[in-house]
Amino acid sequence: MDAKHREAAESVFDKEKRREAEINSALQQERARHEAAVKNMHRLRLLRMEREAQAPSGTKKRIAAK
């Protein structure tokens, strides 16, 4: 393989490696966003349940209906 072909092959290889790294980074960021959203959902659910538990019995239905 001459130098020109080797250079072209290395260039393609480098591009593929960079693309793979970008994909992995994007997947990692997506996982982090998903985990944060799930954590926030559970936090909000607990807050809602605490608020409903503290509310007088007559207002529980009204809060739940919202």
In three-state form (DSSP H/G/I as H, E/B as E, the rest C), the secondary structure along the chain is CCHHHHHHHHHHHHHHHHHHHHHHHHHHHHHHHHHHHHHHHHHHHHHHHHHHHHCCHHHHHHHHHC
pLDDT band at 9 (very low <50, low <70, confident <90, very high): confident
pLDDT at 66: 52
pLDDT band at 1 (very low <50, low <70, confident <90, very high): low
pTM of the model: 0.62
| Domain-wise residue ranges, the chain | 3-65
* Residue 19, burial from CB neighbour count under 10 angstroms (0-12, 13-18, 19+): exposed
pLDDT at 32: 98
